[in-house]
Structure 1
Amino acid sequence: MAAYIIAQINIADRETYSKYEARFMDAFTRFGGRLLSVDENVHVLEGDWSYTRTVLAEFPSKPAALEWYDCHEYQALAAFRHAASVSNVVLLDAFAANPG
């Protein structure tokens, strides 16, 4: 079953963050990741949304997403993101529709 990552990011240092962006896709796609949305101008329908970037990503499964997130290559790369921004990142299971 598919799994989704939602990241809410406040980028403070675009130059350092660009080092994260430059190599992100290489590590991400090796684990079956697919970017569904990267948006810096979301349309807020309710509540507050004070993030400079919102990301929605899909993986073929929760284990694949965790394997990507925990891999040495991504964690080394994530150090640039951590240095340049503050983030909330969650992993969600896909909704399993009830056939009846």
Structure 2
Amino acid sequence: MTNEPNPDSVLRRTVLKSGAIIAGALGMLPSATASGRENETQADKTTPSEPVQSQKGYVIAIDGITDRDRYMNEYFPVAAETTAVHNGEALVISFDPTVLDGEWCHDLTIVLEFPSVQAAEEWYADDALREVRQIRHETTAYSNKIITSQYSPEDQA
């Protein structure tokens, strides 16, 4: 017996995790938000003693890019650098995803993972990222981003 993970089970867990994150972000989870807390509002803040702090935070972004050269040369490097500064990791960066159902007309889809929702919020508020935010707006027809917490089945209990 080896300690190597089964590639099929790793892929399955990754797909299930991604689906749960997206379902939570889209409000498809019954009677709770993606964090599993009912009646959550943006004004709600957790404290370090609450279990949500141990959950990872995710930024999901879709952009309709109108000036790809400028976006990739002026905005994207700063976004990538600040992601690393806040211990984030890009899980998905896709210009051409395979559409399984419906329509997906976005030029860029990104999923970033952070150690916590607070870390994701701190990334978005980072001064260096704020400085290039206008470039993102100037180089996209739209730029939609959300922050959500990791989905956990225990949160539904």
Shift of 1:55: 0.4
The aligned residue for residue 87 of structure 1 is 143
The aligned residue for residue 7 of structure 1 is 61
Give the stretch that moved more between structures: 12-21 or 30-39: 12-21
Equivalent pairs, count: 100
Q: Following superposition, which runs of at least 4 residues in structure 1 exceed 3 angstroms of deviation?
A: none
SS of residue matched to 2:99: coil
Provide Cα deviations, 1:80-100, integer angstroms capped at 9, x if missing partner.
1111012111111101232x9
Note the residue ranges of structure 2 that are not aligned, 5 or more in a row. Answer: 1-54
Q: Is the 8 A contact 2:57 2:115 kept in 1?
A: yes
Under a length normalisation based on structure 1, what TM-score does the superposition of the two structures give?
0.90
Shift of 1:65: 0.5
Q: Is the 8 A contact 1:9 1:87 kept in 2?
A: yes
C-alpha distance in structure 2 between counterparts of 1:5 and 1:22, whole Å:
17
Q: Is the 8 A contact 1:16 1:83 kept in 2?
A: no
Under a length normalisation based on structure 2, what TM-score does the superposition of the two structures give?
0.59
SS of residue matched to 1:89: strand
Shift of 1:57: 0.6
Q: Is the 8 A contact 2:78 2:129 kept in 1?
A: no
Question: Letter of the aligned partner of 2:143 in structure 1?
Answer: S
Q: Within 5 A, what are the aligned runs for 1:1-100?
A: 1-17=55-71, 18-85=73-140, 86-98=142-154
CA RMSD of aligned residues (A): 1.7
Question: Letter of the aligned partner of 1:3 in structure 2?
Answer: G
SS of residue matched to 2:130: helix
Which structure's residues are more often strand, by fraction?
Answer: 1
More contact order relative to length (CA 8 Å, sep ≥ 6): 1
Q: Is the 8 A contact 1:37 1:57 kept in 2?
A: yes
Give the stretch that moved more between structures: 32-41 or 14-23: 14-23
